[in-house]
Structure 1
Amino acid sequence: MLAAKGVRFPIDIILVCIRWYAAYPLSYRQLEEMMQERGVFVDHSSINRWAIRFLPLLEKVLRKHKRPVGGSWRMDETYIKVNGVWKYLYRAVDKEGKTVDFLLTARRDKAAALRFFDKAMKASSVPERVTMDKSGANKAAMDEINGRGETLIIVRQVKYLNNIVEQDHRAIKRVTRPMLNFKSFRAARNVLAGIELMHMIRKGQLMLQGCSELSFADQFYALAGKIRLV
């Protein structure tokens, strides 16, 4: 049974609010109005706190039930504004468009790229090849990884081959656009985890028994049933 300590609203209300927020291009104030129309009076600041608190927990659980990705990755980074300053969201998909991993960073350099690749490879094993743009920092990170003496990864720096990940960025940016600037790095990181979670569910990456027969919303609730929101 799901529970959420320290909140006065039922867990099903919390889950509806954070699912809508992370899945669709909505602001907190729009969600507040939508809930009021349904007889639920919740302040937009409460929805904000729920999203920051619970979305990363749900994304963490999805990782335990995520379908394996392919060995050919397309990697790129996109821009996310945090408190008026551009930050960098590193992302990778496989050749079928399935999400490999993502990481929000303050800088766009070799160290950031290396953190992203290490995180992705820890979760999804070492790929056979990685396709990226002409970024010298990303190439330097891959050179260091290949220099560790482990399995050699083929690196391709061909921009047009990266169209699939650039197109995939659009699904994330479509949802973040109405959010009108994240106020803190923590808020951005946690909410983006939820947005990526919803995007992966839509792409059929959740692997739970019987989930292929469930709707997008019901898959989310089935995943939420796997944890205790405390």
Structure 2
Amino acid sequence: MKNAKSLYRGHRFPAAVISCAVRWHFRFQLSLRGIEELLFERAVIVSYETIRRWCDKFGACFAHRAKAARRKPGTTWHLDEVFVTLRGEPYLLWRAVDQHGVELDILLQKRRDKAAAKRFLMRVLASCAETPRKIVTDQLRSYPAAKAGIPELEHVKHVFVRASARLNNRAENSHQPTRERERRMSGFRDPERTQVFLSSFGPIRQHFALKRHLLRASLYRKQLGERFAAWHRFTELTQGPSAL
């Protein structure tokens, strides 16, 4: 029986270095040059452009594995959209989270009409194994119009909230990490690269973002250790990157 090809085949740097650099980029608010400096301190000489290529190549793969390994999504979907500016052009970033705050999917689009809402709903349905019990949205008319055209959502309860009253906190709070990263990166630029980055950013960040304020220190460390063990499986590391 032939051995499966290594995920890192053709790369001269060890898997521990690549995995660590990709995790730092999506988990923390570090620039590529900042990661280059951190690796240099650890006697790893690599350019920030190489780190960028690592993140482009491995980020989506690691994010997909992190999403596949997490618990089944909740039965309530909170949907919301937020404006982002890319090189002076306004775009809508559509996001869906469940009642636990777990990001289900995101989609960057130019419009806010029925077709855009339907495209987003179909994308979220494709990424989730089961249809929701309830959908919570603001009062944007595109949502009910798009939902009516999707047979799987025909009998799903639809709850509207007033965005001005900040009642849809679950969805609106889910935008905060993206806003923080947007400021750290001095804004997003290319729509395609922004979609790719944010699609990986959410699952990888949330894989390590435990609700520390709700956990005892010992339980927090135990769960964080489990998350790191899972990360090593996602990234095909035989042992932890102790050298880093």
Task: Tell me which interval the TM-score lies in, with the shorter structure as reference length.
Answer: 0.7 to 0.9
**What one-letter code is carried by the residue in structure 1 that aligns with 2:61?**
L
- For residue 184 of structure 1, the aligned residue among 176, 187, 190 is 190
Give the structure 2 partner of residue 39 of structure 1: 43
TM score, norm. by length of structure 2: 0.78
Gaps of 5+ in 2: 211-221, 238-244
Separation of aligned partners in 2, 1:2 and 1:149 = 39
Taking a change above 3 Å as real, the CA distance of residues 81 and 56 of structure 1, as seen in their structure-2 partners, is: farther
Separation of aligned partners in 2, 1:217 and 1:92 = 26
- For residue 143 of structure 2, the aligned residue among 138, 147, 153 is 138
Show CA shifts across 1:9-58 (max 9, x none).
Answer: 22221111111110111111222222222221211111111111211111
Q: Does 1:8 align with 2:12?
A: yes
TM superposition outliers: structure 1 runs of 4+ over 4 Å: none
> 1:88-103 to 2 correspondence within 5 Å?
88-103=92-107
> 1:68-79 to 2 correspondence within 5 Å?
68-79=72-83
| Larger relative contact order, structure 1 or 2 (CA cutoff 8 Å, min sep 6) | 1
Separation of aligned partners in 1, 2:36 and 2:153 = 51
Gaps of 5+ in 1: 205-210
Q: Does 1:156 align with 2:162?
A: no
TM score, norm. by length of structure 1: 0.82
Taking a change above 3 Å as real, the CA distance of residues 38 and 127 of structure 1, as seen in their structure-2 partners, is: same
Separation of aligned partners in 1, 2:87 and 2:58 = 21
Separation of aligned partners in 2, 1:164 and 1:150 = 21
Separation of aligned partners in 2, 1:106 and 1:14 = 34
Q: CA deviation at 1:202?
A: 3.2
Tell me the SS of whatever aligns to 1:78.
Answer: strand
Give the structure 2 partner of residue 208 of structure 1: none
- For residue 106 of structure 1, the aligned residue among 103, 110, 116 is 110
Preserved CA contact (<8 Å) 2:26 2:205: no
Paired-residue identity, %: 27
Taking a change above 3 Å as real, the CA distance of residues 43 and 201 of structure 1, as seen in their structure-2 partners, is: same
**What one-letter code is carried by the residue in structure 2 that aligns with 1:166?**
E
Tell me the SS of whatever aligns to 2:116.
Answer: helix
Separation of aligned partners in 2, 1:64 and 1:39 = 34
Task: Give the greater-gyration-radius structure (CA).
Answer: 2
Q: CA deviation at 1:166?
A: 0.7
Q: CA deviation at 1:172?
A: 2.7
Show CA shifts across 1:54-83 (max 9, x none).
Answer: 111112223332311121111101234434
Taking a change above 3 Å as real, the CA distance of residues 65 and 217 of structure 1, as seen in their structure-2 partners, is: closer
